[in-house]
Structure 1
């Protein structure tokens, strides 16, 4: 008895072969000359007239025969595909990760769906934003975001100052030099917040997705190893269509 993965392997070849044969049959049916035939004989008016040999062209393509060829070409494909589709309804397997069964008795079609979805999810996880490693983060339950410890910095302001170089005399005015001085006038307290994720969390998600992807692929291979029952539908279909 064949296995489902063997049927899947031969289905593609059967489909290509059937398509090629159908195309060839279709081309032959489009050639009017191959469908046509004639037979003619010549009879002179009297016995002294010239005698000419009869002429004939045989019909090389018969539409009814072409339909039988179509049925023969497609019957094998129909039977193989039916065998696969019926088996897909019955072929199931558990999806297990690290000894834990995540999903039970999943049909092949859904396993294929899961494979595609997990590929997309893996790409999404790879694009997740990660917290800046240069900062020290702690989760703030009240704000439901990550935050850093408050950092204080001073705020300064330039204050103009004057410095007397020479005191005033009766003969000369005082010589004064002006300059500015940075004076602390306040303190900034900065706390950063982020909705990104810690690197360890992103790496954990990557690992989980990868493990589940492997488990789904393993389950699909296991399900595809199920034995199948040959289905014969082609003869019934074409027995009705071309009867």
Structure 2
């Protein structure tokens, strides 16, 4: 019997072919010159008049024929899509990670949704900010964030000093030079805080989403082994739509 993954494999080609032939038929049905025909015969007024051959063009496209061809094109498409969608309602699989079944009897459509969401989630988690590895961090339960140990740094200010190069004498004044020195006036106590994650925590989150994504892919492949029942709804649809 046909399996679901086989129907999925041919669906894209069937859709493309149907779209192409649909466009061709639509174009043919809209060309007035192909739909129109004419027949002309000439009859002279007397027997000695010119004898001219008949003229005419045949109708090249009949709308009813176009509808018949369109029915054939779309019937195959309708049948393939119906076969896939109806099978998708019954095709399910369990999602199991490390021997633990997280989800049971998950339909294919939801497994496809999960794959897309998990791919987006992996990209999101991979870009989460992590703590600066140059610092020592510890969890502060009171603040709900990570913090570093307290570091102390001196605060200083510049104090002018006078350097006497030469003492004053009876004949010359003293020679001096003003300069500044940094004198401690206080002490800064600094603690850094961060709401980022430790690098190993981010790695743990990414590893989990990767493991789940792989499990979802395995489940989808298992569900796609479901044996389908070929549907023939297209003929019923077009027998109704195009009935005379």
Work out whether the TM-score is over 0.5.
Answer: yes
Aligned to 1:238: 238
Q: How far off its partner does 1:177 sit?
A: 5.3
Q: What are the within-5 Å matches in structure 2 for residues 7-86 of structure 1?
A: 7-86=7-86
Cα shift readout 1:104-135 (whole Å, capped 9, x = no counterpart) = 22111111211221122122112211111111
Secondary structure of the residue aligned to 2:34 is: helix
Q: How many residues align?
A: 243
Secondary structure of the residue aligned to 1:67 is: helix
Rounded Cα–Cα distance in structure 1 between residues aligned with 2:61 and 2:47:
39
Q: Which moved more, 1:171-180 or 1:54-63?
A: 171-180
Q: When the two structures are superposed, what TM-score results if normalisation uses the length of structure 2? A: 0.89
Aligned to 2:3: 3
Rounded Cα–Cα distance in structure 2 between residues aligned with 1:81 and 1:96:
29
Cα shift readout 1:42-67 (whole Å, capped 9, x = no counterpart) = 33334444444444433221111111
Q: Which moved more, 1:98-107 or 1:64-73?
A: 98-107
Question: 1:188–1:53: structure 2 CA closer, same or farther, 3 Å change rule?
Answer: closer
- The CA RMSD measured in Å over matched residues stands at 2.2
Rounded Cα–Cα distance in structure 1 between residues aligned with 2:134 and 2:191:
14
Aligned to 1:185: 185
Aligned to 1:131: 131
Question: 1:57–1:183: structure 2 CA closer, same or farther, 3 Å change rule?
Answer: closer
Aligned to 1:155: 155
Q: When the two structures are superposed, what TM-score results if normalisation uses the length of structure 1? A: 0.89
Q: How far off its partner does 1:73 sit?
A: 0.9
Cα shift readout 1:150-180 (whole Å, capped 9, x = no counterpart) = 1122222333344556666666666655544
Q: How far off its partner does 1:200 sit?
A: 0.7
Q: Which moved more, 1:12-21 or 1:127-136?
A: 12-21
Q: Which moved more, 1:231-240 or 1:117-126?
A: 117-126
Unaligned stretches of 5+ residues in structure 1: none
Rounded Cα–Cα distance in structure 1 between residues aligned with 2:180 and 2:47:
141
Question: 1:23–1:159: structure 2 CA closer, same or farther, 3 Å change rule?
Answer: closer
Rounded Cα–Cα distance in structure 1 between residues aligned with 2:15 and 2:170:
117
Question: 1:93–1:176: structure 2 CA closer, same or farther, 3 Å change rule?
Answer: same
Question: 1:179–1:78: structure 2 CA closer, same or farther, 3 Å change rule?
Answer: same
Rounded Cα–Cα distance in structure 2 between residues aligned with 1:226 and 1:15:
22
